[in-house]
Structure 1
């Protein structure tokens, strides 16, 4: 698949480095946006001190934690213009008639916006 970014081959879920609230600890449930999306921190949030001294998990930057996303089995690249109006971690629909990712409007609810051009696809 040409736009595939991440895939949970084990039937589990995708774990990604995401910005999380200050004080987040491994095992905390993390609210992502206002659309009912959540994750579970797998690492503590990287503090400024951890980042400065290099005592943080590899691949993370200050403010991030490795975050397990239950029910998200794949991420795909979406045209930035299609999802520009959707808030971070907002719900994304797919309109089969126009073949575009769209803000929720009664089309097929497929997942959540992660960043400017990435959609996290939910399991059915």
Structure 2
């Protein structure tokens, strides 16, 4: 697949560095971004204090933790994402092929950062699930 940016080596899920709040704890599930993407930090969130103690894994920037994304095994480069895209935001595709942040299209995945030097956004494709919506929760569908 020519547009794959990252692939998971195991069925555990993709492992990438993500910016998380300092309150995120190693091994405790949390959410990333406005759509509530579930992630499991595998390290503590990097801080200057931890860095001074030599307890920050190589490659993490302050404010980042190495995370497992259960159910997401590939990140694709689908081109430029819609203006205003945030990390962890649900990405949809309209019938005409345009990517959108609006739930009026088909859910395809979550916006995830691509590390430097490439940078930008990719789309993490989940294992055939759609994000929970308030309407589904209220109607007892979830």
**TM-score over 0.5 (shorter chain):** yes
Match of 1:91 in 2: 90
Q: Does 1:107 align with 2:105?
A: yes
Q: Offset of 1:10 from its aligned partner?
A: 2.6
- Counterpart CA distance in 2 for 1:3 and 1:67 is 22
- Counterpart CA distance in 1 for 2:2 and 2:83 is 21
Structure 2: runs of 5+ lacking an equivalent = 114-119, 129-142
Task: Output one character per residue of 1:22-42: Cα deviation in whole Å (capped at 9) or x when no partner.
Answer: 132211222212212120110
Q: Offset of 1:54 from its aligned partner?
A: 4.2
**TM-score normalised by structure 2 residue count:** 0.74
Q: 1:11 to 1:104 in 2, by over 3 A?
A: farther
Task: Output one character per residue of 1:72-93: Cα deviation in whole Å (capped at 9) or x when no partner.
Answer: 111011322x332333311111
CA contact (8 A) 2:26 2:42 kept: yes
**TM-score normalised by structure 1 residue count:** 0.83
Q: Offset of 1:43 from its aligned partner?
A: 0.6
Q: Offset of 1:107 from its aligned partner?
A: 2.6
Q: Offset of 1:103 from its aligned partner?
A: 1.8
Dislocated runs of 4+, deviation >4 Å: none
Structure 1: runs of 5+ lacking an equivalent = none
